[in-house]
Structure 1
């Protein structure tokens, strides 16, 4: 006997094929149809699996769901505790999950599997473009974090220094970081370079600053020596565990918080790899890097997203009135 969800339509018992085999097959077809990074693909797969599990728990056929069901699901997500933070999902997280679900249903509409997208009429959370819940870091806090990594010794110390340098100096997403392969490293017009697939399946390329390149090279040299291989024979994922498996995003989360605690950062327990991405944007803008260059470096389609990452954008030191006054003074 199931319990009805307030505000949702009466549950409809699905067939086994519709609920288990059909939607899962649709999900894989949908993912294959899109140019996505492996990290994004895995995140979308989890998002749809969450919806299918919710439907299964209510004996609801997801191919017959209405916007009322999606609304009920959204309310449940808003009260769900994120295991990583110990707090309920943020509006941005809920909005992202519903966006993935909407894309999935749009694909099903095109296939003729459903008559309409039920997410279209659902009540999605409002997400401020001018605010992010991610805890940011000041430049001196990033320096302290890197210094804590530099002070470490042991078999994973060089790898950890390389990971932190890539996060801090390039502002990579954690999914982009752990998806990197050695084959992504290269040289272009005198630059050490990195090519990879970013969010949305877009091809990206970035330059490695000298310090970042040194950290990566030191790690790879140590890795080659431990495997008794020539440096040019090391292959596979760029960042690996002691067993040679690809480092995962959860290990990077733990690494950032552990080093932040060692560095004495007050908000260490709330930091994430994304905190370094925010710090990258804020520091780059503070150093006078044009917004469009920071936007390109971060792979943002919309400059408003880049501005949201810039925590110092409301600093009165950057008020344009000073530049206008200084120019007028020079003319006078």
Structure 2
């Protein structure tokens, strides 16, 4: 069997790095508008597929949908080293989605003729379900109160972190990517600018509570460095050493404060729990679905609805509104 390099240099095909090489995967990732976190996840996904192929002496350029199906069943039936359980259908589906994008890139470069993932049997994922553990409005209040009561050198930063998650429903990747220079004003609103999913530059309004928490934190940080707030630069949320706060630290913070707040499910919470709570609370307060969708940066309104944990509440059944309107017409 010819090598991948030879196959990619057959007559009529462009000279490309081998599909199994790091250079090819990096070329594919560079071609996509992805966050650093998503880029890392996709890189691991492709590496896992190539490792699986190598263990079976399977050339990834000659893989068929049957091979992809076998790989998916392997993922669904093999306990992971980290959790001791097989991957969930949603995670398997995400991995196959990454793999499909990788093969689409190969097709566009004429390295292969068809995408083997296209005909594969992907897991059925309930779009109306999310595994993220949510929070009630009262639990969000308790979490914010725990942040207010927090003490120590990072207390002000912790309050700003939780306020931004709770009030804006940011993704953790969006949160930790924020820089001091991203703060601004727009038509009388305090605002924050960031790059959202898909590489889109977005701007959100800061609530008075979030703005106060951020201002208090930056004032304390500037004073500790002997600077004015206007002289601060770099990441908005930093560690004691001045490095950018990472997602793992935010996960730990949410769970610690939730435990201190007495939230029963504290050990299963994540920053995403606050994002779910944001969507549910906004809809419960009557915010139109389209506005919540825009605020959360969702391309598909079905995604926003999945985040709305209160969507099945019978109090919101449109039958009541129709009946009430009919009653008004009858006088």
Scaled by the length of structure 1, the TM-score of the pair is 0.90
Select the residue among 238, 241, 260 that pairs with 1:240.
238
Residues 122-179 of structure 1 deviation map (CA, whole Å, 9 limit, x = unaligned): 1111111111111111100111111111111111111111111111111111111111
The 5 Å alignment of 1:149-298 reads: 149-298=147-296
8 Å CA contact 1:39, 1:179 repeated in 2: no
42-51 or 214-223, larger mean C-alpha shift: 42-51
> Is there any run of 5+ residues in structure 1 with no aligned partner, and where?
1-11
Select the residue among 306, 311, 320 that pairs with 1:308.
306
3-state SS of paired residue (1:119): coil
Aligned mates of 2:162, 2:132 — CA distance in 1: 18
| Alignment match, 2:63 | 65
8 Å CA contact 2:33, 2:198 repeated in 1: yes
8 Å CA contact 2:19, 2:61 repeated in 1: no
| Alignment match, 1:40 | 38
Aligned residues: 321
8 Å CA contact 1:14, 1:60 repeated in 2: no
Scaled by the length of structure 2, the TM-score of the pair is 0.90
> Does the C-alpha gap of structure 1 residues 244 and 273 become closer, same or farther in structure 2, counting only changes over 3 Å?
same
Is the counterpart of residue 26 in structure 1 residue 24 in structure 2?
Answer: yes
> Is there any run of 5+ residues in structure 2 with no aligned partner, and where?
9-16
Aligned mates of 1:36, 1:108 — CA distance in 2: 18
8 Å CA contact 1:26, 1:108 repeated in 2: no
**Cα distance, 1:188 vs structure 2:** 0.8
Aligned mates of 1:244, 1:55 — CA distance in 2: 42
> Does the C-alpha gap of structure 1 residues 26 and 20 become closer, same or farther in structure 2, counting only changes over 3 Å?
closer
3-state SS of paired residue (1:167): helix
> Does the C-alpha gap of structure 1 residues 197 and 117 become closer, same or farther in structure 2, counting only changes over 3 Å?
same
| Alignment match, 2:13 | none
Aligned mates of 2:84, 2:143 — CA distance in 1: 23
**Cα distance, 1:80 vs structure 2:** 5.0
> Does the C-alpha gap of structure 1 residues 16 and 225 become closer, same or farther in structure 2, counting only changes over 3 Å?
farther
Aligned mates of 1:172, 1:223 — CA distance in 2: 23
8 Å CA contact 2:34, 2:197 repeated in 1: yes
26-35 or 281-290, larger mean C-alpha shift: 26-35
**Cα distance, 1:194 vs structure 2:** 1.3
Structure 1 vs Structure 2 CA RMSD: 2.3
132-141 or 250-259, larger mean C-alpha shift: 250-259
